[in-house]
Amino acid sequence: MPNYKPPQRDTQFLLHEVLNVESHYEALLGHTDVNKDLINAILEEGAKFAENELAPLFRSGDEEGCHFNEGVVTTPKGYKEAYAKFVEGGWCALSSPEEYGGQGLPNSIGIVISEFTGSANWAWSMYPGLSHGANNTIETHGSEEQKKTYLPHLVSGKWTGTMCLTEPHCGSDLGTLRTKAEPNADGSYNITGTKIFISAGEHDFAENIVHIVLARLPDAPKGTKGISLFIVPKFLPNSDGGIGERNSVVCGSIEHKMGIKASATCVMNFEEAKGFLIGPPNKGLNCMFTFMNIARVGTALQGICTAEASFQGAYEYAIERTSMRSLSGPKAPDKEADPIIVHPDVRRMLLTQKAFAEGGRALCYYLGMQADIVTTSKSEEERQAADDLMAFLTPIAKAFLTEVGCEAANHGVQVYGGHGYISEWGMEQLVRDCRIATLYEGTTGIQALDLLGRKVLMTQGKMLMNFTKIVHKFCKANQDNEKLKSLVETLNGLNKEWGEVTQKIGMLAMQNRDEVGAAAVDYLMYSGYICLAYFWAVMAQKAHEKLAEGTDTSGFYTAKVQTAQFYFDRILPRTVAHKNAMLSGANNLLDIDTEHFTFL
């Protein structure tokens, strides 16, 4: 199985050399004391926990899975104990407000630790991961009493949180949900309905589970405008802050899944369970987007976690496994065959994994910095600009990175050959575990419609231009940099083309709105490849700078430059196919009659 080791050197390169987070934190209210030494110390301890506590449970958790018995869920051996150590180490409270017991560190540091834990064991990391969204939703939209009641316990990790959206008859189309909320005389509500696919809906980690639930009030309008948001705890809190009587919310079953088998995916039955309105009536979906956007960035991380874990496993195997001779002559003449890493096709797969993992890491960390600005900047203008950037980049990160994460996992199996298909190596588990990432928190198609329809066309290209201006500024600043010439010229050309292609789709959509749906996924993937090209160009620029200064780690920077060139030469040309597909129009999808799809 893969022997995962958190990529601390690459993380430090991004945080300190590319993104300059120390200066970033100094500019934010309350984060002037977050310096390089503190950051590195946190990374080192987080890496130890991920490598020593979570990685060893990766395969055993998959083999054992979760156990269900009359509403009670028991997690695999070692999972509960690892969570107790996680709580004891203060990791749950890392990026939470100090007033509720948190450490008050920036969100962007929390994202790094989430990457480490997720790469080591994604199924385990989902349990504390869901709590972050519940924290942020209550912190942003809850009353002062709700914050005081729930946040200290959620922040400490003593309680965990979920989000309950999906119902048996509706997935992403939340406008048709049927869960009811009947008002009580004391200001609470009786919540009745069934929610499905609820990650960490029931488990044995914590003494209480706080469900964030979407439901309808009796007089609510139809559709998404009639949805309200409620806090529904498993145990009702006492006046002293402890847990009281059991609420009437029960786990009806857990799903038998393709992957992430150690993560409990629950059917939750609410039978007049007592709930408490959070935020304004009929504005629940607006409030839930606080939860969903954070969850989507967290899901984007799964693509990076998968690519990194699969790359590490594949690289280790490729340098040890011998098979055939190099086409240009033996590279290990003392052995009966050469290590497979000498073969161009194996290198193609490894470099593709590496390019997606490291490029995607840069995008996710950049998003984490925007989240810092949104929550703590002193400037309203800066907060709005960062919020707009997050709104544009989040659907790209969530959908694109999970799609290429699945590709990277498949490459990992392929590098191993037949051994990759065998469970003991752990590579096939990564394929199974990551497949869900393209589905939950909105499928790739849903994210693509959000990007092209809502974020680009409905803003008349404003959100797109916010990012293309950043890319243009970089290209202009480096237009005379001879070492970056080929990368900058290619990136600058695609950056201009991005706007032109968007205008063409917009014109088609004015004649037929189905053109948006027909182009959306190709548009999103096209956008994702360009986004990663920008971050790879930025990383290459910094690597060239470090090499020119002189360094005793030249191999690291040289590899950055070479991987950037590989990405531009071998991966970025995929944009051509996506452009041609999205501009081919909707007719090739819609002309065929539904009944003519198959003849049996």
Task: Give the separation between CA 394 and CA 111, rounded to whole angstroms.
Answer: 14
Question: Residue 588 class from Cβ within 10 Å (0-12 exposed, 13-18 middle, 19+ buried)?
Answer: exposed
Instruction: Report yes or no: 291 and 162 within 8 Å, Cβ to Cβ.
Output: no
Length of the chain: 600
Eight-class DSSP state of 50: I
pLDDT at 293 over 80: no
Residue 262 CA to residue 260 CA, distance in Å, equals 5
Q: In this model, does residue 31 exceed pLDDT 90?
A: no
For every residue of 87-111, DSSP letters joined together read HHTTGGGTTS-GGGT-----HHHHH
- 591 class by beta-carbon count within 10 Å (0-12 exposed, 13-18 middle, 19+ buried): exposed
Residue 289: which pLDDT band, with cuts at 50, 70 and 90?
A: confident
Q: Rounded to a whole number, what is the distance in angstroms from the first to the last CA of the chain? A: 43
% the chain with pLDDT above 90: 88
Lowest mean pLDDT among 137-141, 293-297, 582-586: 293-297
SS3 state at 460: coil
Q: The whole model's pTM is what?
A: 0.97
Task: Please indicate whether residue 104 or residue 78 has the higher confidence score (pLDDT).
Answer: 78
Q: What is the pLDDT of residue 296?
A: 82
Beta strands, E only, 224-264 = 228-233, 235-237, 243-246, 249-254
**Checking DSSP bridges between strand 228-233 and strand 208-215, what pairing results, if any?**
antiparallel
pLDDT at 308 over 70: yes
Please, is 336 exposed, middle or buried when counting C-beta atoms within 10 Å of its C-beta (0-12, 13-18, 19+)?
Answer: exposed
Q: What share of the chain is helix, strand, coil (3-state, %, to 5)?
A: 65, 10, 25
Find the range with the poorest average confidence among 202-206, 238-242, 382-386, 525-529: 238-242
Lowest mean pLDDT of 33-42, 173-182, 194-203, 570-579, name the range: 173-182
Q: What does the radius of gyration of the chain's CA atoms come to, in whole angstroms? A: 24
Query: Widest CA span of the chain, in angstroms?
Result: 84
pLDDT of residue 375: 85
Average pLDDT over residues 444-473: 97
Residue 29 pLDDT level (bands cut at 50, 70, 90)? confident
Q: How far is CA 34 from CA 28, 42, 96, 364, in A?
A: 10, 11, 15, 20
Question: Model confidence over 495-514: pLDDT tens digits?
Answer: 999 999 999 999 999 999 99
pLDDT value at residue 290: 62
Pair of tokens at residue 103: 């450490």
Residue 137 contacts residue 291 (beta carbons within 8 Å): yes
Contact call for residues 464 and 388 (beta carbons, < 8 A): no
Q: What is the mean pLDDT of residues 562-572?
A: 98
pLDDT at site 291:
58
Instruction: Give residue 592's pLDDT.
Output: 94
Dist. CA 594–CA 317, nearest whole Å: 47
Tokens of 472: 């243009």
Q: What is the mean pLDDT of residues 29-37?
A: 84
Q: What is the pLDDT of residues 50-67, one digit of tens each?
A: 999 999 999 999 999 999
Three-state SS annotation for 217-228: CCCCCCHHHHCE
Q: What average pLDDT does the segment 476-505 reach?
A: 97
Element (H, E) at 67: strand 67-69
Distances (CA, A) of 428 to 6, 212, 309, 502: 20, 34, 12, 38
213 DSSP β-pair partners: 164, 230
User: In the prediction, which pLDDT does 355 show?
Assistant: 98
Q: How many CA atoms lie within 13 A of 276 on its CB side?
A: 19
Work out the pLDDT band at 44, boundaries 50, 70, 90: very high
SS (H, E, C) 162-177: EEECCECCECCCHHHC
pLDDT for the residue numbered 40: 96
Q: Is the pLDDT of residue 240 over 90?
A: no
Token pair for 1: 């199985």
- Greater pLDDT, 269 or 284: 269
For position 79, what pLDDT does the model report? 98
Rounded to the nearest 10 degrees, what angle do helices 122-141 and 79-88 cross at?
50
Distance from C-alpha of 71 to C-alpha of 550, rounded to nearest angstrom: 62
Q: Cα(327)–Cα(343) distance, rounded to whole angstroms?
A: 8
Strongest mean pLDDT among 284-288, 293-297, 406-410:
406-410
Q: Residue 221 carries which DSSP code?
A: P
Q: How far is CA 438 from CA 390, 403, 443, in A?
A: 19, 6, 6
And the tokens for 283?
């504005």
Q: Is 380 a catalytic residue?
A: no
133 pLDDT band (50/70/90 cuts)?
A: confident
What dihedral angle (degrees, nearest 10) is formed by the CA atoms of 339, 342, 344, 350? Answer: 70
Which member of 441, 482, 515, 595 is catalytic? Answer: 441
With 80 as the cut, is the pLDDT of residue 117 above it? yes
Of 38-52, 166-180, 501-515, minimum mean pLDDT range: 166-180
Query: Which amino acid, one-letter code, is at 500?
Result: E
Average pLDDT of the chain to the nearest whole number: 95
pLDDT at 292 over 70: no
pLDDT for the residue 491: 98
Q: How far is CA 469 from CA 232, 475, 481, 564, in A?
A: 44, 10, 19, 21
Measured CA to CA, the distance from residue 34 to residue 21 in angstroms comes to 9
pLDDT at position 192, please?
98
Interval 460-476: pLDDT, tens? 999 999 999 999 999 99
